[in-house]
């Protein structure tokens, strides 16, 4: 019965509060990442913390880890292309998203990674929060991206912040509230 109840909910996206001040509906405090979930039947949205999201299916442990890492720690990539609302980055094999690619591909219809002549290319959506003027083709960047699962079960990554790789400092907007794990 309880398992059935958990199956009614799908992972939607993760939100980084940048400080551990969130509360899970179960009462757990000091939550940094809010995992937003949606009821498949009623379409109701709610959120749970990092511990509780793992109760929502065997695949949630890995989804949670990748989503929190991509958003909280970010990943490094060389900008290959900027087109319309998307940017493409070439990432190295030990990037968390590449490492767990085959596992994540089992759970989603579409996954934003392609392999081109041995290189892994990640498609990332530009959001209004990501300043595309900062991006330049051919240069290396640190990208903080939000992992979103669309209703058709396609996985999408959306840039929340970018910074030049040589400058690994957290962008000043978050500077004073960013807590390092
Ligand atoms: Zn909880």
Q: Tell me how far the alpha carbon of residue 134 lies from the centroid of ligand 1, in angstroms.
A: 37
Q: Count other Cβ atoms within 10 Å, centred on residue 97.
A: 22
Q: Tell me how far the alpha carbon of residue 175 lies from the centroid of ligand 1, in angstroms.
A: 28
Confidence (pLDDT) at 125: 94
Q: Tell me how far the alpha carbon of residue 147 lies from the centroid of ligand 1, in angstroms.
A: 20
Shared domain for 83 and 159, answered yes or no, is: yes
Task: Give the domain extent around 93.
Answer: 74-163
Shared domain for 151 and 140, answered yes or no, is: yes
Q: Tell me how far the alpha carbon of residue 105 lies from the centroid of ligand 1, in angstroms.
A: 27
Shared domain for 49 and 92, answered yes or no, is: no
64 burial type by CB count under 10 A (0-12 exposed, 13-18 middle, 19+ buried): buried
Shared domain for 20 and 88, answered yes or no, is: no
Model confidence pLDDT, tens digit, residues 108-153: 998 899 988 888 999 999 987 667 788 999 999 999 999 999 988 9
pLDDT mean across residues, the chain: 88
Shared domain for 143 and 66, answered yes or no, is: no
177: in domain:
no
Q: Tell me how far the alpha carbon of residue 114 lies from the centroid of ligand 1, in angstroms.
A: 35
Helices (H), 13-112: 50-53, 60-72, 96-99, 101-105
**How is 97-159 classified by DSSP, letter by letter?**
HHHTHHHHHTT-SB-SEEEETTEEEEEEE--TTS-GGG--TT-EEEEEEEEEE-TTSBEEEEE
Distance between CA 142 and CA 100 in Å, rounded?
A: 19
Q: Tell me how far the alpha carbon of residue 27 lies from the centroid of ligand 1, in angstroms.
A: 6
Last residue of a domain, one of 51, 71, 91: 71
Q: pTM of the predicted model, to two decimals?
A: 0.85
169: in domain:
no
Distance between CA 79 and CA 93 in Å, rounded?
A: 16
Last residue of a domain, one of 49, 71, 93: 71
Model confidence pLDDT, tens digit, residues 6-54: 889 999 999 999 999 999 999 999 999 999 999 999 999 999 999 999 9
Considering its fold, how many domains does the chain have in total?
Answer: 2
Shared domain for 79 and 157, answered yes or no, is: yes
64: in domain:
yes
92: in domain:
yes
């Amino acid at each position: 019965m309880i398992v059935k109840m958990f199956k009614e909910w799908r992972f939607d996206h993760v939100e980084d509060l940048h400080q551990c001040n969130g509360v899970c509906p179960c009462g757990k405090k000091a939550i940094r990442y809010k995992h937003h979930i949606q009821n498949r039947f009623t379409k109701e949205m709610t959120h749970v913390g990092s511990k509780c999201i793992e109760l929502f299916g065997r695949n949630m442990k890995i989804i949670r880890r990748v989503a929190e890492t991509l958003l909280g720690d970010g990943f490094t990539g060389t900008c290959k292309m900027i087109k319309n609302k998307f940017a493409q980055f070439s990432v190295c094999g030990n990037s968390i998203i590449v490492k767990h690619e085959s596992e994540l591909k089992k759970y989603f219809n579409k996954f934003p990674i392609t392999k081109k002549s041995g290189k892994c290319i990640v498609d990332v959506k530009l959001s209004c929060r990501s300043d595309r003027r900062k991006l330049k083709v051919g240069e290396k960047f640190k990208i903080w991206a939000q992992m979103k699962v669309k209703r058709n079960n396609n996985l999408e990554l959306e840039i929340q912040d970018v910074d030049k790789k040589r400058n690994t400092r957290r962008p000043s907007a978050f500077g004073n509230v960013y807590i390092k794990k």
